[in-house]
A and B are shown apart, each in its own frame.
Chain A
Amino acid sequence: MNIETMETHAFDVLVLGSGGAGLRAAVEAASEGGVSVAIVGKSLLGKAHTVMAEGGAAASIGNVDAPDSWQTHFYDTMKSGHYINNYRTVEVFAKEAPARVLELEQWGAVFDRTPEGRIMQRAFGGHSFRRLAHIGDRTGMELLRTLQYKAISMDIKVFQEVTITRLLMDGSRVAGAMGYYRADGHFILLKAKAIVLATGGWGKVYKVTSNSWESTGDGAAMAYRIGADLKDMEMVQFHPTGMVWPPGVAGLLVTEGVRGEGGLLYNSEKERFMKRYDPERQELSTRDVVARSIFKEVQAGRGTPHGGAWLDISHKKADFIKQKLPGMYEQILTLGDIDITKQPFEVAPTCHYQMGGVQAHAETCATTVPGLFAAGEVACGLHGANRLGGNSLADILVFGRRAGIAARDYATSLKKAPEIDDTQVEAEVARILEPFNRPDGENPYAIHQELQEAMSTHAAIVRSEDDLKVGLNKILSLKERAKRMGIKGGRVYNPGWHAVFDVENMLLLSELIVRGALERKESRGGHWRSDYPDELPEMGKWNFVHQYSEDGDRITRVPVPEMPPELAEICARPVAPGREKVAGSSQVPPRKE
C-alpha cells in the first residue's frame, strides 16, 4: 500500500479536463480573485482534443453576412438538432457566442481577416449564413493555445498528466476527486468545494474515429457512477469526411472546411450525389445527412475503391487551397500521398462527437449532483440529435465560462468545505492498484479493440434492434472479462495500467449508447434505425435519461422542454430569419462549381 505517497490539495474550484471548456472555466473562475482554482489534465497542457477542431467557431457576428443574428443561429441549431435540444441552452448559446469569440481576440487569438480588416467567417454545413470565425484549418489549436497562455498568466494551479479515477462525495454533494500522476504513479487527492467536468467525449469507443486517445469519457462515466443524470446517449455524430486510405490513417478528420471552401462530393460514377439527398443544401447539408448519404452510396455499390466517396477541391486554385486549408493539404499529402490541389481523395464517415452526455442546466451548467458542473462535449443539451459544425468551439467558450462562474459562486456560497471520509479514499487506492495483482489477466488493449469492433459493427451509423441486442451482449460479456484486466510492469508511466481505467469507462458508456439506441425507436439526426427509418413526432417529445442503480442502468423518458411562444415562432418559420429576402434562392451562399 502506497497511500503514504498520496499528495493532498484543496481548492475552491477544481476543473477536470484541460481542453477548451476546462481552460475557459478555469479562467473565469479565477478572474475575480479570492477563489483558489486548479485544472487537471490527463495529457500535457495544450494537447487536448480541442487542437483537432479545424473549421471554426460559429457565432453570428455578421462580419461577412450582415443579416445574421442570434435568432438565425438559434433557428439553425434547433433545426439541426431535430428539436430535442434544450431550447434555453440554445438561446443562451446563440446570444453569447459572438462576445465569447471577440474576447479571444483580446487575449491574443489571430483570426483570418475580411477585406475590411474584421474577423473572417466561412460557410459550413447547416448554417444559414457564413458564420464560422476561423484561422485557416486550425481554429481549435488557436483557441486552445490562446486559453492556455491566458490561464498560465493567471493564478491557476495546473496539474498535467494526472488520471482521475473517481469523484468523491460528502453525502449527496461532490467533495473532490482522486487519481494518480501518470509519470510516476503516485496518488493525488484533490478536495474541492465545486467541480467543473470538462472531460470531453468518448469517440474512442469506435474503431474508426477522429478522436484522440483521451476521448474515453472519464468524466461522464465518473459522474454517472455518483448519480448524475446522463441524457441522449444514443446521439453520436459521425462526421461525413474522415480519411479512408491508407489504413493507418483511417478515420482521421478531413475538415468540413474543405466543403465550406467549395469542395464537392462525388460517387464512383462521378455523380454529385448530394444533389439527390439534399437538393437545397447539397454538400453543405448537416453532418447527419451527408454521412448517411455517403454510407448509402457505398451500400448501393457506388463507393470508391476503399469504400467511401470522392471529395474534390482541385477546381480551386492551388494557392487558395494552401492558404485556406494548409493543414489538410499537408496532412493528405504526407499521410495519404495525394495532392488535393490536383486530384480528389477518398473520404468516409468517422465517429466524431457525442451529442449526449451529462445533463447540464442551461444557464449554470449544474448537473443533478450538487457542486458538480459540466461544460463542453461531456455535457448534454445544446446539440440535440445532431451537432452543427463550428458549434462545438463556440459551445466550449460559452458554457466553459458559464460553468466557471457558477462553480465559483457555488464554492463561495458554501459555509463549510465538504469533507471526505477515508474509507472512500482507501477503497479507491485498492481499486487503482488491483490490476497489478493480475500480471496475466486480460489485456486491456485487447478488450478495447474488441469493444471498438462491437460498437462499429452493431451500434454505428446504421442501427437495428437485432443488431443492437447482439452488440449489447458483446459489451456485457466484455464487461465481465474486464473485471479481470491485469497489467505487467511498474507504476512509472505505464500505459497498460492507464488503459485499464479508460477501458472501464468506455465499456460503461458504450452500454449506455446501445441501451439508448434500443429505446429510441425512430430515426432522428445522428441516430438512424433501419427498422424505424422515419422521424416520429411522438418520439420527438422525449429525451432519454440514464441513471445509475444497483440493478443496472435505469432509463426514463423525460419531456423535451417546451419553447415559449417567441422562440417557437422562430422555429416555425418556413425560412431562416434574415433569409426571407433571398428566399427561393439557394440556402447556402453562391458556390462555384
Chain B
Amino acid sequence: MADEFILSIFRGDADGGQEVEYRVPRVEGMVVLDAVHHVQAHEAQDLAVRWNCKAAHCGSCSAEINGVPKLMCKTRLDEYEGQTVHIQPMKTFPIIKDLVTDVSWNYEVAKKIPAFHPTVAAPFRMQQWDVDRIQEFHHCIECFLCQDVCHVLRDHQEKSQYYGPRFMVKMAEFEMHPMDRADRIPQIKNEGGIGLCNVTKCCTSVCPQHIHITDNAIIPLKERVADRYYDPIRNFFRKLGGKGDESQPE
C-alpha cells in the first residue's frame, strides 16, 4: 500500500487546459474530494471545485473520475489502488474553471416544470404504498450526473429538444403524485422530448442515489405518452368522437 495517491486533475478554462499531477498523502478512508481539498490547501489555492456537504446529500461535487461520472465525496481513493486518478469536469456542461462547470441550463429547465397542482387542501390522506413509488424520485440530489452521461445531451447536444433524465424524474414525481391534477403528458411528449430517450439506462447506472430513472420514471412516462397519442384503439374512438386534436386528445 503506497503512502500517497497520485491525482491528475484538469486545470483550465474555456480557453483550454490540461491535467496537472499532484501527490497527496494517504489518510485512511479518504475520498477523492479530500484529496482535492488537500491540493487546494497546500499547492493550488485557486483550484476550482464545487462542493458543499461532503456527505452525498447536496450533489455539488460531480466530476468524471477516470472517465466515470461520480460524486467526489462518495468515491473512495482506495478503489484506485496503484492507479493514477484522473479527475475531469463534467463534459456535458460548459466549463467555468478546473472542475467547475456552468450547470445553469438545468435551472432553466427546472423553471419550465409546472408546480405541483393538487385540487384538494392538505393534510392529505395517502397510504405509504401510494407514495412509495414517488418517494424514490424525491431521493434526487440534483447532482446532474444523469444529465452529464445522457447521450442525447452529451453527444448530440440536444439540450433544446430534451429536458434530460433529471427532469423526467421531476415530471414523474408530480405526474404520479396521487393528489396532482395537472395534465403533464403533452409537455412530457413535446417540449420535454421524452421520445429522444432510447432507454440505454446510462443515467440509471451513474445515479448516486440509485434511483431507477429509466425503469421507474422514464418508461412509465413513455407509456403514458404512448397511451395518449399512439394507442390505435383509443385513436379510433377519439376520431369517432371527433376529437382529433393531438394536444387535447381526451
Q: Which of B138-146, B196-204, B242-250 contacts A (4 or more CB under 8 A)?
A: B138-146
Given contacts A51-B57, A153-B115, contact A496 B46 (CB under 8 A): yes
Chain B contacts for A153, CB-based, 8 A: 111, 114-115
Chain A contacts for B121, CB-based, 8 A: 106
The answer to whether the Cβ of B163 comes within 8 Å of any Cβ in the partner chain is: no
| Residues of chain A from 531 to 581 with CB closer than 8 A to chain B in the complex | none
From residue A295, how far is it (CB to closest CB) to chain B in Å? 23
* Chain A: CB-nearest residue to B73: A335
User: Which of A46, A142, A445 lies in contact with B138, CB distance below 8 A?
Assistant: A142
Given contacts A106-B121, A112-B128, contact A335 B45 (CB under 8 A): no
* Chain B: CB-nearest residue to A490: B46
Residue-wise interface mask of A (87-104) relative to B, using a CB-CB cutoff of 8 A (1 in contact, 0 not): 000000000000000110
From residue B77, how far is it (CB to closest CB) to chain A in Å? 9
| Interface residue tally for chain B (C-beta within 8 Å) | 64
User: Which of B46, B53, B123, B128 lies in contact with A105, CB distance below 8 A?
Assistant: B123
The CA-CA distance from A445 to B40 in the complex, in Å, is 8
Contact call A47/B27, Cβ cutoff below 8 A? no
The answer to whether the Cβ of A195 comes within 8 Å of any Cβ in the partner chain is: no
Q: Which of A246-254, A263-271, A354-362, A476-484 contacts B (4 or more CB under 8 A)?
A: A246-254
Q: Is the interface of B mostly helix, strand, loop or mixed?
A: loop
User: Which of A331, A334, A488 lies in contact with B45, CB distance below 8 A?
Assistant: A488
The answer to whether the Cβ of A492 comes within 8 Å of any Cβ in the partner chain is: yes
Q: Which residue, A46, A119, A495, has most C-beta atoms of chain B within 10 A? A: A495
Residue-wise interface mask of B (119-139) relative to A, using a CB-CB cutoff of 8 A (1 in contact, 0 not): 001111111101100110011
Given contacts A44-B103, A118-B123, contact A494 B57 (CB under 8 A): no
Chain A contacts for B127, CB-based, 8 A: 113, 117
Q: Which of A144-152, A309-317, A582-590 contacts B (4 or more CB under 8 A)?
A: A144-152
The answer to whether the Cβ of A23 comes within 8 Å of any Cβ in the partner chain is: no
| Residues of chain B from 19 to 77 with CB closer than 8 A to chain A in the complex | 27-31, 34, 40-42, 45-60, 74, 76
The CA-CA distance from A253 to B53 in the complex, in Å, is 10
The 5 closest A-B pairs by CB, nearest first: A246-B29, A489-B46, A496-B45, A108-B116, A105-B122
Please list 24 pairs of residues, one from A and one from B, whose beta carbons are closer than 8 Å in the complex, sorted by A's number.
A47-B52, A49-B53, A51-B53, A102-B122, A105-B124, A110-B131, A110-B135, A112-B128, A113-B130, A113-B131, A135-B135, A149-B115, A153-B114, A160-B107, A212-B54, A213-B52, A245-B29, A247-B27, A327-B57, A334-B76, A445-B40, A488-B45, A495-B45, A496-B45
Q: Using A141-B141, A487-B46, A490-B46 as known contacts, list a sample of 4 further A-B pairs with CB atoms less than 8 Å apart, ordered by residue number in A.
A: A108-B115, A110-B177, A113-B127, A117-B124
